[in-house]
Every structure is written in C-alpha cells, then in structure tokens.
A and B are shown apart, each in its own frame.
Chain A
Amino acid sequence: MQLGESGDWYEIPSFQVFDWHRLTPLTWALLTRQTPQPGGQKRTTAFLLRKLMTVSNGGGLEESSFVKPQECAQKPEHTTGLIQRLLEKQKTPVLQEKFVSSLLDMGFSDVHVNELLSIQPGTHPQQMLDIISELILLGLNPEPVCVALKKSPQLLKLPVMQMKKRSSYLRKLGLGEGKLKRVLYCCPDVFTMRQRDIEGIVGVLKEKCLFTVKQVTEILHRCPYVLREDPGELEYKFQYAYFRMGVKHVDIVKTDLLQYPVTKIKQRHVFLERLGRYQTPDKKGQTQVPNPLLKDILRVSEAEFLARTAVSSAEEFEVFKKLFAREEEESEGCVADEESPDEEEEGQKEEQEL
C-alpha cells in the first residue's frame, strides 16, 4: 500500500512478516498515546496488544498491514479477526462516499455499485476506482464493466500501472471505443496476459499473415479467442485457409474464419473437396464448380452443413472424420520415408490388381 495521494488519512506501510517486529513498538506507542483513561481502558489496551502480538506471530499479512489509531481504541474485541474488521473499516465513511459518488458520476447505477462493492470486499476502494476508470476510459459502458469484473474479479487486483499500460496498448491496437467489450468477455486475460504473448499474436497477424492494421483490429475485435491461440497454430490456420482453400485476406476477416478450430475447418473443407463440391481456385481465382459460401461451410451447424452444403449423411461424415484423423496422424509421423516397413513383406504390393 502506498501513501495515498488522495487519501486524507494516514496509512502505515505494510511490512513483510519479518519486519513486523519493527512495527510493533510503534503501534504500541500509538496505542498507549491514545489510551484516554486508565483502569478500564487499560484492560482494553492490553487485550488489544495481545491480539496484535498473536497476529504478528502467525497471522495473515492483511490483518497486520496497518492499524488505524482511533479505530483500535474504539472497536469492541471480537476474537475472529479484530484486525480484519479493522481493515474492513479502512473505508472510512468519507472515502466510501467518495468512491460511490465517483461511480455514480461515471454512470453506474445503485445496483451496479452494490455489485461492485461485493465482488472483492478486501480491495482498496482507490484501487477499484482506478481499475474501473481505466475500463470506462477504454469506452466500456457501466453494465459491461460490471459483467466483466464479476466474471474476472482478478482484474481488480491488477496494479494500476499495468492496467494503464495495457489500456494504452489496446488503444493503439484499435481496441478502444467499446470494441473492448467483446474481447473482454471472451478473453478476460487480455489485461493479465503477458505483453509479449499479445505481441506474439499481433505479430503473426501483421508480419506473417500480412493483414493490415485495420484488419488486425477487426480480427481481434471479432475473434478475440485468437489471443489465446498458439502463434504457430494461428499461422498454420491462416496458411491453410489462404493457400489450401484459396480464401483471401478480406474474406478471412469478413467470415471470422480464424475463430474456428483448425480441425473443424480442415474436416469440413476436405470432406467437401473430396466430394467434389469444393475446389481450390487456380491462379486466376477460378474454379470449375462454384464453391459454397464460407458461411455455409463453417458457420452453420453440422446438421445443416451436411444437409445443405455437403449433401451427405451424418454416418458418412463420422467415418470420414475418423479416417481423416488417422491420415493426419500418419502424415505427421511420416518424415521423409515414403515406404512403410509393412510393404517390404512379400505379396503385399499392388493389391488393386489381383
């Protein structure tokens, strides 16, 4: 905890456990100074100090991170974490009011405010405010902010600096102005991910796949799951679509092709190709049969794909998938050698002519 710039009350920095012994005398000093009356209050003070000691010997850091002077004397002794309760009361009425009013100013409703307060009760309001502000500044509306934070409360724990840095990077990628909503929903780790992982994906899209900056933004916005993919696999997926299927950049973006698992793309594509219903366009971009629309291949359900696009049965597709999976496995295993050992055995060659 840092000395808050906006805080109007005094905080004691938190220490590692081994530093606690240094704090104790100070606390003791504070307490004794505060003790207004002798006698009855002495007992309170003593009890309080005993509590502090117990905490320091093995209690959690949270509980011992700081002590609010006047709170110590006023609070009744409650065995289950006196310090913890003290900590909860860190939100002085003044600060809490400020927090709530800031939120309301930003457009949050009362309901929202309550929700937010209940997400991670231990979080410092200033921290929460900073995080929430960043999200608002990125163009998210209050409702999506609540949804996102509820879904991924760990966001509230992020250091604000990291949050700011990541926000500006996302803005640079074109993901401000509300585009972030979908990304955050699908890929909440977009703030917690390592910078270089995001850069890896963006790098693949820009340098390897040669998408324009605008197209990259579009892809990240519409298919946020790409952020979770392995860069190598993402590149392979693109190459498959571009070279093997003959789909151009514009269409890859328009049809959200990159969001589909590569297995599904390959299965459906090769099935259609072998049926004779899909052809890779030649150099001039022409095919002998009109290829079905990509959305009729990938976006539709399997049942509809089979009924309308492939005009084949579910049984056949199931068998095909198995055979194809095996072919894929074997082509990966086969490095350079063309002949399998089985073929050396007598009488097993050229079985087509018998």
Chain B
Amino acid sequence: MAALLVRGVRDMLKRADFATVPRRQRHKKKWASTEPKFPATRLALQNFDMTYSVQFGDLWPSIRVSLLSEQKEPEPENSQTAAPSHVSWACSPNLRCFTFTRGDVSRFPPARLGSLGLMDYYLMDAASLLPVLALGLQPGDTVLDLCAAPGGKTLALLQTGCCRNLAANDLSTSRTSRLQRVLHSYVPQDVRDKNRVRVTSWDGRKWGELEGDTYDRVLVDVPCTTDRHSLHEEENNIFQRSRKKERQMLPMLQVQLLAAGLLATKPGGHVVYSTCSLSHLQNEYVVQGAIELLDNQYSIKVHVEDLTHFRKLFMNTFSFFPSCQVGELVIPNLMANFGPMYFCKMCRMT
C-alpha cells in the first residue's frame, strides 16, 4: 500500500505510507435473512470460486481467504503509535514507498491536510504502485494515463517528477471530476501547471486516431471486475445481474483500450497494461489479443518486456503468482494482503 506525499516541486516525496482506504462498514448480518438472497457480492464470490479454483488450483483457498479478509487499513485518527517497522524500497526518482513488514496488521493513520493546504499523503493499495514503477518514467517523458480515475496512479506518475506533459483521461465524467479534485487536493498549482496536466473525458478507445504515435510512456489501467472490491461492496457491483452484459464485454473493451494505448505510443515507447483482477481472460489474454490485433490490423510490432528483475526487487513484500504467461500478477496472501494486481510492460517496436 502506498501513500504519496506531495508537497511541492523542490520538496518532493519525503515519505509515503501504504494503507488502503477504509472501505465502508458492512451492516451487521442478521440471523434471519432480510437481505437480497443473492447479493452481487455473493454472485461475485461464486463466479470466482468457479473460475479461480481452476486457474489457481491449490493456491486458490489462500487467495480467497485474503480477498475476503480486510486489507490493512488506517488506524483511527486519535491513536498514537510507535513508528511502524517498515521496508522502504527503491523506486523511480523521487518516489519512496513504505509498507509494514509481512504479517504485520498495523495501520497507517489517515491522511490529513498539511501546511500547504494539501493532503499529506494518499492511501492506496501498495500493489497499485507497481505498474507505475514498472513503466519506468524518465525525466522529460510525455505521459498518457488512459483510464486515470480516481487518480491514485496518476498522482504517482506526477510524483516521479519526470512528466513533461501528463494527459489524464477517463471516460466517465463523474470520475474525471473526482480525478480533478484529487489533483487539486494533492498537487500544488505550480506543479500542475508546470507539468502541464491535462484532464479529459473522452473515449479511450479512440486515442489511436486522436493522438497516434505521441507518447513516450502510456499507462493503460483498464476497467475490470475489481475483484477485491466486488467481494465487499454491493453498490454498483459489476456482478449485479443487470450488468451481466457489460461484464461479459469487458475483455473486448480491454483489448480495444490497450490497442488504442499502443497506437498512441511513439515507436520505441513503452506501455504498461494493468488490472486489479485475477482473471486470465482480463489479463494475459487481453495482452496477447491486443498485440495480435496490432500486428494483424496495423502491422505494428509490439514486444513484451521481461519483468523478472523488477519482480525480484519486490519479492519480499508481495506474493507473485509464479506461472503467468506474460506479465506479473500480485496475488493476495494473508501475510501480504496486497492486490490483486496484474501488470505487463510492452515496448512498441515499429
């Protein structure tokens, strides 16, 4: 879990703390059922039991218990704690991240408004930072975040201080306004202007036509079944029966978005595709599908980058699934209850 400290251009990240956002409290279960018989969260769990028990075999029970148990959350504001024993890891320039050691269930206190009128840190699942780190921004890069809202990864991108221009987009206007607010709360005005952050609400699939061959680095953090979220939150749950069609179309949407992101990359540029789902169909299949599409329809060659070295850096903090065909998958484990987070780095060759 990562929290980012955003103070100003000179005073970049001093400290980042990991924690997740406190999820909404579930209401108490009653002995007699007065809730809907098949809430979406239950449908989600059934779906996962069916697919992931096959996909992960013996690993599934330990993933399942982790998904169903709370993630490490922030402590109540008024409690005083000793400094947690943390592991700090090397990241992109200016990005320092902290997390508690394995098995420690301590929490980070929630972020507060700092002296500059900005929140002092942003709490997120630590694994969410990995795609940003994998992207490997270099100073002066032009960056595109194709599905940016609610903005945690966008912040992290800005945080590296490497973005000459950052384009943040999300299809949903309500979510982009959230994104705007997040940027407003965390990023000082001068940074925002200096980095020339642009927020848009266009259809990500069109980016090939809109801004083809433009960007050095592109992050495609697609909409997915948000596995952990879907097991706990009933509201707007994608496993609701009314959203079944939408859910079934997800892989296709994801391929289109990734393809657009690849098209928007300069030749020689890099793309990272990421989801917070465990599903093969939304992860490896999409990567392979998009690469094939670009090859067949556009004759553009895309090469998948090996992230083994990167993975080794974080092996002590996260649990990685050993058998991904392409990309890396952080799987939740009670000792390190991060993720799920899938990410894959590609390089556009032509």
Contact = CB atoms under 8 A, between A and B. Distances in A.
Contact of A347 (B22, B27, B64, B185): B185
A353 B170 CA distance: 12
B125 A351 contact: yes
B122 A347 contact: yes
Given A352-B125, A354-B152, A340 B49 contact: no
Interface in A330-350: 330-331, 334, 337-340, 342-343, 345-350
Contacts of B70: 323, 326-327
A302 B166 CA distance: 54
Given A318-B103, A322-B105, A353-B223, A345 B119 contact: yes
Contacts of A250: none
Given A320-B65, A322-B105, A326-B105, A354 B25 contact: no
Interface in B71-86: 74, 77
A8 interface: no
A276 B64 contact: yes
A324 interface: yes
Interface stretch (A9-17, A71-79, A189-197, A309-317): A309-317
A351 B335 contact: no
A350 B228 CA distance: 11
B31 A239 contact: yes
Decide if the interface of chain B is mainly helix, strand, loop or mixed: loop
Given A316-B334, A331-B26, A347 B150 contact: yes
A353 B230 CA distance: 11
A124 to B, nearest CB: 54
A307 interface: no
A135 to B, nearest CB: 42
A243 interface: yes
Nearest to B106: A322
Given A326-B70, A331-B26, A352-B229, A277 B105 contact: no
A177 to B, nearest CB: 37
Given A243-B31, A323-B105, A349 B150 contact: yes
B194 interface: no
Nearest to A333: B25
Contacts of B128: 351, 354
Nearest to B147: A353
B151 A354 contact: yes
Given A315-B103, A322-B105, A347 B226 contact: no
B28 interface: yes
A319 interface: yes
B103 A348 contact: no
Contacts of B254: none
A275 B64 contact: yes
A271 B68 CA distance: 10
A274 interface: yes
Contacts of B125: 351-352, 354
A29 to B, nearest CB: 75
Interface in B98-140: 103, 105, 110-111, 119, 122-125, 128
Interface in B231-263: none
Contacts of A342: 21-22, 74, 77, 110
A319 B335 contact: yes
Contacts of B152: 351, 354
Contact of A340 (B24, B27, B181, B335): B24
3 closest Cβ pairs, A-B complex: A354-B152, A352-B229, A351-B21
Interface of A: 239, 243-244, 271, 274-277, 311-312, 315-316, 318-320, 322-324, 326-327, 330-331, 334, 337-340, 342-343, 345-354
15 contacts: A271-B65, A315-B334, A316-B334, A318-B103, A319-B334, A339-B25, A346-B182, A347-B119, A347-B178, A347-B186, A349-B178, A351-B128, A352-B125, A352-B228, A354-B125
